[in-house]
Structure 1
Amino acid sequence: MKSELYERPILGITMGDPAGCGPEITVKALRNKEIYDMCRPLVVGDSKMFEDSIRILKEKKIKVRRVSLVEDARFEYGTIDVYHLDLVDMSQFQYGKVSAMCGEAAFQCVRTVIELALAGKIDGTITNALNKEALNLAGHHYSGHTEIYADFTNTKKYTMMLAHEDLRVVHVSTHVALRRACDLVKKERIYDVIKIAHNACRQLGIAEPRIGVAGLNPHSGENGLFGTEEIEEIIPAIKQAASEGFNVEGPVPPDTIFSKARGGWYDIVVAMYHDQGHIPLKVVGFVYDREAQRWGSVSGVNITLGLPIIRASVDHGTAFDTAGKGIQNEVSLTNAIRYGMQLVRNKDK
């Protein structure tokens, strides 16, 4: 069933934690006919949740169709094909509640979509948000999607990329304590991330990627005055990458590198740790409407690089505080689908 290069790719979209916003924003995203014009979406999850989202949204033109095989999906606009997994006991279910049942449901959706991609049944995977507490309550001790994907695909060298419009960031480390993150700033890892970043930009259609590498310390260490990681680890990694032909610059002070990237200096930035990369992306991608007292835009995309399969994701959480109310914004999911499609199109180029 795997689609040919120039056909609409089949993208598997996970439900996410059913107590969160995943089912709702999936229905909202798939109300857009343009999605069906560019790809063939297959939702992986419990069909009951999508039926309930349709009820909440009072959506009369969209219906759900259960399938048990990818080959049975029709990919027709107006009908959401759900690769049905019977995961949620509606008599025990509650929106916005952390539970082992919902953590298990979210995990099984991720596991299934990875298996479908590895088997060549689908071309790429798109993930909705899961809740880490619920995931751990269900007995799955991962810090997030990235680590699940790495484990199930047996991938050792990988990284997270966040993207909003032309601002792209990859990370040397992500879900570890800040003290530990500083210890992980090592030449070999930084070099690997630079190389992964270069390849990702090429896959996105950027022929000659320009890579900016952030420093770890204030002012990038000020020649050792505020720390020596730049001298001992970051600069040697940059020099090695540059000697191999990568267009890479740094270490650039962390307080200016993202403004430069926004201004077009770089196609992608290598951040040293989670918040260094996440904060600037979310400042530009997450817009809160003061007057309406709600989020007007939540539009970043999270992509795992270095995997043998494609994974793009929403760049927000489960929104437990407003889940089930019909007010969630689907922009991030729509953007993730677009990114997933672009990665599929350029995969073999």
Structure 2
Amino acid sequence: MDARYSRQVALPGFGTAAQGRLSAARVLVIGAGGLGSAVLPTLAGAGVGTIGIVDDDTVDATNLHRQHIHGTDDIGRSKTESAAESIAALNPGTLVITRTDRLTSANALPILSEYDLVIDGSDNFATRYLAADAASLTGIPLVWGSVSQFGGQASVSWPDGPGYRDLFPSPPPPGSVLSCEAGGVFPTAVTVIGGLMATEALKILSGVGSPLRGRVTLFDALTGEFSSLDYLPDPSATPVTRLIDYEAFCGIDTVTADEVSALADDSVLLDVREPWEAEIASIRGSVLIPLGELSTRFEELDRSRPVVVYCHHGVRSASARQFLVEQGYRATHLAGGIDLWARRIDPEMERY
């Protein structure tokens, strides 16, 4: 047995058998961002044999205060590649399988079927529901967590229940939950919730302890307090029998960077970022109305033309799109925001 694991093998009830189960385990981690940055090195350090990482994002400077698996030199790199390099340095005995594409309804089932457990550290509701449904259909446990500003929550979904949809039958309205980009995030909230997620994964894989079955643990960094919520399977819930269009399910009406490029001349491009962000980079011909001013300035927009809204990563724009639709506009928003636009359409554009 590798000496690096001696301190956990010595734990009461753990031993070499539990360590052997970790070594044989295959875990898929969705997201190499804030939560993934806490989960991934913990799993590798504990000796999980195979770790898959799915993330289509790249590292930028705004990530580094909380995504500690990445460094300054990784800015602009694929997060999966950066995370894989960090894991290799920590534990070369862990096999890392990387995917730099996004988890979708088309690829989720074949991807998840190769693993024993999936950990969802994504930052959007469409992926969370996709991960929950795909885990249910493939019959593997799902460890999930989420963070907002100064707090967060974590739990486990089981194929035979209770699961994520028992707790959250339907997603919140688009834009109603602040993103890290719009609302900020306390770095240790990510660390704590990611640590709880890794703890649940290690308990399930090793067979040690009692996982969070039918319970959610909540953490408030401002008070330093933990609390828990019990929940049961919803007897009236519609069984999950297939994967669906999760962006449509979550009320997200998006267009791709390529589609916006083709539609730019016929649409109003609305930038809902802050002025300082627009000074760094903007899409040519766009109108700037910060999200906080949109409710009083929306009538400045031409109602006769469709509106394509964009922001940095596509979160604020989802909220703006919903508001404009309610005002009678034909509105969509740019998936991935100007960050993806810069990567796909205008590589010379300055990124932040």
TM-score (norm 1): 0.29
Relative contact order: is structure 1 or structure 2 higher (C-alpha 8 Å, sep ≥ 6)? 1
TM-score for the superposition, normalised by structure 2: 0.29
